Chain A
Amino acid sequence: MTTPRALLIVESEWRYYKRTWRGTVITTWLRPILFLLAMGVGLGTLIDRTADQALGGAGYLAFLAPGLMAASAMQTAITDSSWPVRTGIKWRKHFWAQISTPVTPDDILNGLMIWVFIRLVFVSVAFAVVIWAFGAAPLARGLTAVPAAVLCGMAFASPMAFLACWFKEDSTMIALFRFSLIPLFLFSGAFFPIDRLPDYLEPLALVSPVWHGVDLCRSITLGTPLTLSLWVEVGYLSGATIVGWWAAIRQLRKTLHL
């Protein structure tokens, strides 16, 4: 049996990663450690004196950690599916080399999404280990939350891949990062429950996939009930993943098979 062509793309991403992996160590390990240290431990000691009820009875560190796990998956997904697509088309241009072989635009996109998936699993498992080391959740619970964090990441990865193909200019993507990523991250529900947001902002947080990921991860590690039903949250994240995937494939076909 021949290897599916999408896996040949994964293989080449891996070969490339072996040369460039060093930079990702910081984002994979150091980011969760720094965040948990500063926000969870540092800020947490202040919060825990006053805010026990709003956080559902858990300490702030235990509240924050699963939320950050989901939000961090989102960040990894966005970085790993935006610039690689952009440079594949425009700077490194390796997509153009790939399509002159039996590889198709569909294979490229599928391969890339599989690669992002693998990266998300790795990053989320690392996160679960860090959470456990901080004593914010048992390892088993942290690992159980990995699929939720990965799904949350995928819900951003494929729409982001679409946008990265679709934007004409790099500056559009930089602007998107600048104006939407930080709000998405801050108002994801990772740092505080979104019912603390002003009423007019709350629906926005609900629309963003990341909140659903945060809610899922938190309910798994803390054992608290979900805000919405499991099917709604999983369905929403899967839906975003599938729609994004479909749009990205269509757009990449248009871009490459011009």
Chain B
Amino acid sequence: MVESLVVGRGLSKKFGDFTAVDNVDFDIYPGEAFGFLGPNGAGKSSTMRMIGAVSPTTSGHLRVLGMDPRTEGIKIRGRLGVVPQEDNLDRELSVYENLLTYGRYFHMRKTEIDLRIDELLEFVQLSERRDDRVDLLSGGMKRRLIIARGLINQPELVILDEPTTGLDPQARHVVWDRLYQLKREGVTLIITTHYMDEAEQLCDRLVVMDRGRIVAEGSPRELLERYSTRDVLEMRFDAGQRLQAMPIIEEVAERTEELPDKVMIYTHNADEVAAYLARRDIHPVSTLIRRSTLEDVFLRLTGRQLIE
């Protein structure tokens, strides 16, 4: 049995009357990429902050790298890498100075940090920008710099809070690629995201969070199999048409979800369903056939969409 790097049992976090994290359990094992998936306000960041030993737990049991964050926070933080959601780089300092300053907080020597900075800038493809002020970097570059900063102390466990939020698609792919590389090197990653594709791309295992609770757990594939169908048809109708169409759709669909702007039809064979509906004279304004994603899992579990 592999020893888990992070263990949470009955973990809760309250702010006054508000329960941000409500009695959650999880185990994170060495070398895996573990995701916390959920919409904004689901309790992901609060959970991350507790794991990062900067937010005291309200109740429950938490062990990080075998230590108790309440009493050994300093030691835990010394071995963690943290990539925050918010950009808290020092804009007025250079790329190099940002990394040097941060490295010093881990009691690393300047010569040791200098070597590490060269490696890391290579890794995040910022070597040429070493002496530029952070001000001058693009959003994607800043994000990569924050990732490099989080790796300065060669952590065995890295926490990434919404690593690609606010980035354009190309920049996101660069970040994903770097995170893959880290994973290959055996670093354990904990990732929060409200992007389905991110969770599917990066996570070996994940928990789906909603309103402070964990509502499902498994690998992306397991979750898809358990909570969704292979295919999805998204159909848009004119106002009156939809009412007429729904009963017929229900006849062939495994399951349907009605959203304000469209109907999602879950089935194991989209082509068959589309053909059948055409025969029955159902003609939507538009039809999109796609594979099921974690977005559908989330919709199934909570009745809501992730990004509203």
Given contacts A2-B107, A8-B104, A12-B104, contact A100 B55 (CB under 8 A): no
> Quick check: A100 and B54 within 8 Å, CB to CB?
yes
B residues within 8 A CB of A8? 104-105, 107
Q: Which residue of B lies closest to A11 (CB)?
A: B104
B88 at the interface (CB under 8 A from A): yes
B residues within 8 A CB of A31? none
Q: With the chains together, A258 CA to B52 CA distance in Å? A: 12
Interface segment, one of B90-98, B193-201, B208-216, B263-271:
B90-98
Tell me the interface secondary structure of chain A in the complex.
helix
A residues within 8 A CB of B100? 15
> Quick check: A15 and B82 within 8 Å, CB to CB?
no
Please list the 7 inter-chain residue pairs (A to B) with the smallest Cβ-Cβ separation, ordered nearest first: A101-B105, A100-B82, A93-B88, A97-B88, A102-B78, A102-B74, A12-B101
Would you list which residues of chain A between 1 and 49 have a CB under 8 Å from chain B? 2-3, 5, 8, 11-12, 15-16, 19-20
> Quick check: A15 and B77 within 8 Å, CB to CB?
no
Number of interface residues of A (CB under 8 A): 25
* Min C-beta distance of A127 to chain B, whole Å: 28
B residues within 8 A CB of A15? 93, 97, 100-101
> Quick check: A258 and B49 within 8 Å, CB to CB?
yes
B106 at the interface (CB under 8 A from A): yes
CB-defined A-B contacts under 8 Å, sample of 13: A3-B107, A12-B101, A15-B93, A15-B100, A15-B101, A19-B92, A92-B90, A96-B84, A100-B54, A100-B77, A101-B105, A102-B77, A258-B55
B residues within 8 A CB of A94? 88, 90
* Min C-beta distance of A145 to chain B, whole Å: 34
Q: With the chains together, A98 CA to B107 CA distance in Å? A: 13
> Quick check: B93 and A16 within 8 Å, CB to CB?
yes
Q: Which residue of B lies closest to A93 (CB)?
A: B88
* Min C-beta distance of B74 to chain A, whole Å: 5
Given contacts A257-B54, A257-B55, A258-B55, contact A102 B90 (CB under 8 A): no
Would you list which residues of chain A between 87 and 118 have a CB under 8 Å from chain B? 92-94, 96-104
Q: Which residue of A lies closest to B46 (CB)?
A: A258
Partner of A102, one of B91, B93, B101, B105: B105
B131 at the interface (CB under 8 A from A): no
Would you list which residues of chain B between 100 and 121 have a CB under 8 Å from chain A? 100-102, 104-107
> Quick check: A19 and B102 within 8 Å, CB to CB?
no
A12-B101, A15-B97, A257-B56 given; 17 more Cβ-contact pairs under 8 Å = A3-B107, A8-B107, A11-B104, A16-B92, A16-B93, A19-B93, A92-B88, A97-B84, A97-B88, A100-B54, A100-B82, A101-B153, A102-B75, A102-B105, A102-B107, A103-B105, A104-B74
